Structure formats: C-alpha cells, structure tokens
C-alpha cells in the first residue's frame, strides 16, 4: 500500500509499504482524509515534545472507515466512519499516534477500538478530519468555565487552533473577536461567524480589543504562541476575566506584566490536548451544525503529499491542508 513517510528528519517520501494485519482485539481502518498539522513540521524537522525515531508515518488528524473487525471487538462494524484520539495508552508506554507510532497517512492501518469514536451521519468526512484540532479548541473554552451568549471571547491567533476555538465559542453563543495579522485567517474567522477581527499589524491591538469589547473580554484564548500575542492577552481581558493559554512556546523568554493577573483578578489556565472531551465535542458539532469547512483551504491526493507539505508552510496562502487518501 501507499504511504507518506518521514524517512529521517527533513526527508519526506511517498512510497509503498507493507499492508498491515489485525489481531482479535483490533480493527482495520481505511484512511479517508488526514490533516497536516504544525506539529507534523516539527516532526519532519527532527523535533517533538516526546522521544521519536525514524522512519515514521505522520498523521494524527484523520477520519477513516472500518473495513475489518477483530472477533473480540464490540461496538464497531465494517462501514463505520471513525476518528481517533492521538494520545494512546499502551502496556509499554504512552504513545502519540503519528509521532512515536505510525499514523494515518497511509491507505490502511490497525487500531484499537478504545482509541476510536464513531461519527454520526451529520458530521461528514471534511468535518471529521478537523475533529482532533476542534477538540483542542473546544477543551480550551470548557477548561476555563465555558462561555455563552452573555460573554465576549477574544481569540489571539487565527491559525487552525485559533479558528476552531473561535468556532467552539461561536457555537456556545458568545460574541467572538479574532486577532491575527493574516488577511486569509481574518476572512475565515468572519465566515465562521466571528463578530469582529483585528489586524495587529495595522492598529494597536490592545486599543482595538478594548474598544470592540467595551472594557475587555470575559474569556481570552491565546492560540498563537508568539511573544507579541502572549504579551497582550492579559491586556485583552476584563477584570475578573479568564485566560486560557493554548499556543505552545517552549524555552523562550520575553517581558510580560504579570501584575495584571493580580490587579485584574484573572483566572489563567494552561491547556494542552483534549482529554476526555471527544464524545461531547462530536455531539456538539452534530447538534450545532457548525460549518468548519472554511478552515480547510486546500486538499491534495496522497501522491501529491510533498506538494501539500510545501504549501502548508505558507501561512499567507493556506490554513488547513488535507490529504485525501481514499
């Protein structure tokens, strides 16, 4: 079968690999769509937050179809469309699917049913391929009190995670403002239903946010991980506000006025991943009918994966680039 493999750092290839088999406790999945994530580029560069080895097949944002079921597996059958969590507990260790173990950028792969969640008919493949990042944004909002129609939420950073976080807050009824310098991202935020966007390269973002929100946001979600974004989030929040820190910035130092946390009596929460929220996030997407399709700006066949990887590096031209496997 065909697969995208990172043979070694900075060496992606599309090639033929051995087809997998399953045991009595596994299911065989046919990959249908797989999103390219910023962390895939970190893997390709030879850097990740846990130990990794090469060669490795990437792909942790995926939707697939069950094509074979082990005889001990209950609750799944051939034809079920599924998505899968990417932090996996095995008897040997905790694995990250698509990083420390081979991922979904191949035609078929074996999986354990406890990793998987069935998709309802109302959630199509395009939306299914965004379930993994959506769960992260959904979790970031829920982890800091959730939101509702009485609140204003500011999203700092309009990449994939920022946009799905905006979608989650919009689905909960909040008034949403997205801050990002890239026109494409601001346009998508408005198409998702954001009430306002701010270009921090054209105006003072703190003044703009304060004006739009009339005194600051009830909830601020930092999704960029850039110093300029991180330095502003406490300014965006109103007194008694909440701040969720999602954007990853490891090992860098920069000045920030931490006294704002005390002066404003802010609640600040760090967020990573999406533990425990996958079933509710899927139900949320099904029942709200939120259209995430504007986030998926480009789609490529698996044969064209190297071209897809190259385009995905261009933040001005693309947001979520997806590979169509089957």
Query: Whose structure tokens read 């986030």?
Result: 295
Both tokens assigned to 239: 């007194």
pLDDT of residue 90: 79
Supply the mean pLDDT for the chain: 96
Q: Which has the closest alpha carbon to 94: 36, 45, 64, 51?
A: 51
pLDDT of residue 254: 84
Q: Mean pLDDT throughout 175-195?
A: 98
pLDDT of residue 248: 85
Contact 194, 170 (CB under 8 A): yes
Distance CA 198, CA 182 (A): 10
Both tokens assigned to 13: 């290839």
Q: Is 89 a residue whose pLDDT tops 90?
A: no
Q: Is 91 a residue whose pLDDT tops 80?
A: no
Between the CA of residue 190 and those of 13, 139, 186, what are the distances in Å? 37, 22, 6
Distance CA 134, CA 160 (A): 9
Distance CA 325, CA 266 (A): 45
Decide: residue 184, CB within 10 A, 0-12 exposed, 13-18 middle, 19+ buried. middle
What lies within 8 Å, CB to CB, of 321 at 6+ separation is 35, 36, 297, 298, 299, 300, 308, 309, 311, 312
pLDDT of residue 92: 79
- pTM of this structure: 0.96
DSSP 265: T
Distance CA 232, CA 203 (A): 13
Residue ranges in the chain assigned as alpha helix (H) = 38-44, 125-128, 131-142, 160-171, 183-192, 205-213, 227-236, 259-263, 278-288, 305-312
DSSP secondary structure of 19-67:
PP---TT-EEEEEEEEE--HHHHHHHTT--SS---SSB----EEEEEEE
Q: In percent, how much of the chain has pLDDT > 70?
A: 100
Contact 148, 214 (CB under 8 A): no
The string of pLDDT tens digits covering residues 116-173 is: 999 999 999 999 999 999 999 999 999 999 999 999 999 999 999 999 999 999 999 9
Pairing of strands 196-198, 116-118: unpaired
Q: Is 63 a residue whose pLDDT tops 90?
A: yes
pLDDT of residue 73: 98
| Strand, helix or coil for residue 255 | coil
Decide: residue 238, CB within 10 A, 0-12 exposed, 13-18 middle, 19+ buried. buried
The string of pLDDT tens digits covering residues 285-314 is: 999 999 999 999 999 999 999 999 999 999
pLDDT of residue 122: 93
Contact 32, 125 (CB under 8 A): yes
Of the CA atoms within 13 Å of residue 155, those in its CB half-sphere come to 36
Distance CA 24, CA 70 (A): 4
Distance CA 296, CA 160 (A): 9
pLDDT of residue 93: 83
Task: Identify the structural domains of the chain with CATH numbers, from first to last.
Answer: 2-130+292-324 (3.90.180.10), 133-270 (3.40.50.720)
pLDDT of residue 137: 97
pLDDT of residue 47: 85
DSSP 4: E
Distance CA 185, CA 250 (A): 24
Of the CA atoms within 13 Å of residue 41, those in its CB half-sphere come to 11
- The pLDDT-based confidence of 251 (bands split at 50, 70, 90) is confident
């Amino acid at each position: 079968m065909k697969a995208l493999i990172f043979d070694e750092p900075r060496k992606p290839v599309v090639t033929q690999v051995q087809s997998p088999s399953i045991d009595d406790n596994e299911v065989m999945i046919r990959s249908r769509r797989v999103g390219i994530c910023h962390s895939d580029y970190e893997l390709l560069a030879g850097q990740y937050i846990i130990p990794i080895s090469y060669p490795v097949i990437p792909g942790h944002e995926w939707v697939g179809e069950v094509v074979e079921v082990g005889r001990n597996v209950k609750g799944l059958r051939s034809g079920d469309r599924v998505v899968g969590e990417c932090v996996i507990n095995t008897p040997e260790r905790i694995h990250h699917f698509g990083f420390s173990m081979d991922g979904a950028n191949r035609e078929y792969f074996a999986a354990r049913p406890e990793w998987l969640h069935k998709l309802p008919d109302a959630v199509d493949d395009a939306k299914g391929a965004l379930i993994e990042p959506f769960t992260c944004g959904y979790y970031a909002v829920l982890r800091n009190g959730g939101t509702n129609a009485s609140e204003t939420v500011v999203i700092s950073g309009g990449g994939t995670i920022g946009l799905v976080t905006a979608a989650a807050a919009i689905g909960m009824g909040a008034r949403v403002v997205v801050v990002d310098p890239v026109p494409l991202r601001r346009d998508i935020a408005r198409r998702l239903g954001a009430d306002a966007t701010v270009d921090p390269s054209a105006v003072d973002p703190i003044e703009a946010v304060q004006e739009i929100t009339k005194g600051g946001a009830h909830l601020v979600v930092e999704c960029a991980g850039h110093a300029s974004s991180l330095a502003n989030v406490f300014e965006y929040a109103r007194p008694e506000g909440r701040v969720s820190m999602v954007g990853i910035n490891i090992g860098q130092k920069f000045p920030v006025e931490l006294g704002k946390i005390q002066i404003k009596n802010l609640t600040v929460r760090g967020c990573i991943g999406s533990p425990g929220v996958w079933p509710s996030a899927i139900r949320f997407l099904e029942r709200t009918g939120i259209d995430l399709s504007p986030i998926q700006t480009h789609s490529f066949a698996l044969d064209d994966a190297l071209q897809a990887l190259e385009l995905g590096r261009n933040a001005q031209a693309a947001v979520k680039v997806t590979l169509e496997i089957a």
